[in-house]
Amino acid sequence: MRLHNLSSLLLSVAWAACFAGNAFAASSATVNAGEAKVRLLVSGLSDTNSAPVFRGGVEIALSPGWKTYWRYPGDAGIPPRFDWSGSENVAGVEILFPAPKRITDESGQTSIGYDERVIFPLRIRANDSAKPVMLKLKLNFATCEKLCIPAEANVSLSFPLNASIEALLEEAEKRVPEKQERSNPRALAILEARVERGKDPEGKDNRIIVKALARTVGKLDLFAEGPDEEWTLSLPELLKNDAGHVTFAIPLQGSRLGSNDAPPKVRLTLVAGEQAVETEIPLD
């Protein structure tokens, strides 16, 4: 019995020493998945006034010339799917998506996603904040160059609750669009969205008009999503930029709209250089 207790004590000491000597955030081993490498990162507690929430990330590093997709992929593509069901001492994981960009391939199709490398920040809620967490992720996604290849990665990571801050995660979190408070618009803001019905009796010239304020520096773009995955919206077109007063149009012709001629609401992401905001607006 004494030998068993001693072995347990030594194991606990070894676990603590392993993490105590780690000057960086915890990281899983890197897993190869097609033309990508995947790993998990963890970076300690997030600022919160409620139950403890731990910061983490899923990193996808892509081979040169390859890309992967945003939660809404655009003309073609496969959004990433995150399965955390094998995790231990985890009550929930929120996945944050950095602002994406348009990527046009040789066929002229435009998708929405990332190239080179992307880190999806995580917010991890533990069942018991006094115990270590075991994250287990089954990630299904796609990597694309000229052809798209479905990929799967299984990664896991145990970490203590005092993992240190990781600069990579901080940079990724800065790329996540801020939730816009419509009552308090700033230099980068989505002001309104409305359905504009044209003259065509079949509604082929119907579109959504979006007005925004973009008094910031950097390449300007807008991404639009429907209420759920059953809706697909065409990529917005920039109509006008008058000293930062911006107008976009989203053609409804070519969008998948079900039995309606327009969605009841849209989720909009406005990007200007390194800044981005996101909001959901009901349509009349």
User: pLDDT at position 132, please?
Assistant: 84
Mean pLDDT of 193-217: 90
**CB-CB contact of 266 with 249 (8 Å):** no
User: pLDDT at position 165, please?
Assistant: 58
User: pLDDT at position 239, please?
Assistant: 97
Reduced 3-state DSSP string for 27-66: ECCCEEECCEEEEEEEEEECCCCCCCEEEEEEEEEECCCC
**Does CATH number 1.10.3470 belong to domain 25-176?**
no
Helices (H) and strands (E) in the chain, counts: 2, 19
- The strand pairing partners of 141, in sequence order, are 151
- Higher-confidence position of 1 and 73: 73
Residue 254 CA: distances (Å) to CA of 96, 211, 251, 269: 28, 21, 7, 20
pTM of the model: 0.85
Q: pLDDT by residue (tens digit) across 65-94?
A: 999 999 999 877 889 999 999 999 999 999
- The strand pairing partners of 188, in sequence order, are 214
User: pLDDT at position 99, please?
Assistant: 97
Q: Where are the alpha helices (DSSP H) in the chain?
A: 2-20, 167-174
Residues forming CATH 2.60.40 domain(s) in the chain: 25-176, 179-282
Measured distance CA(250)–CA(236) in Å, rounded: 4
**CATH of span 179-282:** 2.60.40
Q: pLDDT by residue (tens digit) across 7-33?
A: 333 333 333 433 333 333 578 999 999
